[in-house]
Amino acid sequence: MAKIAAKVYGDALFDLAVEENRCDQLLEEVYTVEDALAGNPEVETLICHPGISSEEKQGFIEKCFKGKISDDMTGFLLVLVKKGRFQERNAIFAYFISKIKEYKKIGVAQVASPFPLNQKQQEKIEKRLLETTNYKKMEITYREDPSLIGGLVIRIGDRVVDTSVKSRLEELKTQLLGIALDA
């Protein structure tokens, strides 16, 4: 159910952003709201508390955010409170962010390597990813995974390119076991 809510509310916010040509502004406001709530976890506790009326929660939202973000974003937060969906805000915002990045052709990739990559290697990977995808820009997160032994594992959305020595050894092992079993 949470996935459906994230899609419905995320799509509504995305449609507003595109229709009004305010993708960058609303994206920035989403980050502002996330930062404000992450820095004050008691606010979310208060807004999600079942013992506090919806009207009190809405008043609190207006007091916290009115004038700091657009009326549209404040209204969106108020709708989430009214509909009892505020606790699903993280999933809704994550969905919205991914839609905006896809719309703006910004790819998000995770690259795992067995050792730290230097700046030149990272630039080469980014250049290659831009050449082989439809993205105009890439946001890449690099991490070390010594178990890979060599090569890289690159993940963009649900696509994975695994050139690691570890996976090649596992494939070889599977093939050898298949030969041994057939004999």
**Number of residues that this document lists for the chain:** 183
State residue 102's pLDDT score. 95
> Going residue by residue through the chain (183 aa), what tens digit of pLDDT does each one get?
568 989 999 999 999 999 999 999 999 999 999 999 999 888 888 888 899 999 999 999 999 898 999 999 999 999 999 999 999 999 999 999 999 999 999 999 999 999 999 999 999 999 999 999 999 999 999 999 999 999 999 999 889 999 888 988 888 888 888 775 655
Q: Which of 142, 13, 14, 127 is nearest to 79 (CA)?
A: 13
State residue 1's pLDDT score. 56
Q: At residue 2, what are phi and psi to the nearest 5 degrees?
A: -65, -35
State residue 173's pLDDT score. 86
User: Beta-carbon neighbour count of residue 63 at 10 Å?
Assistant: 9
- Long-range (24+ apart) CB contacts under 8 A made by 55-61 are 57/81, 57/86, 58/82
Q: Token match 């004038």: residue? A: 67
In the chain, which residue ranges form alpha helices assigned H by DSSP?
Answer: 2-19, 23-39, 41-48, 54-65, 71-82, 89-103, 119-132, 165-182
| CA quadruple 81, 73, 87, 103: dihedral sign | positive
Q: Tokens standing for 33?
A: 């709201």
State residue 178's pLDDT score. 79
**The whole model's pTM is what?**
0.82
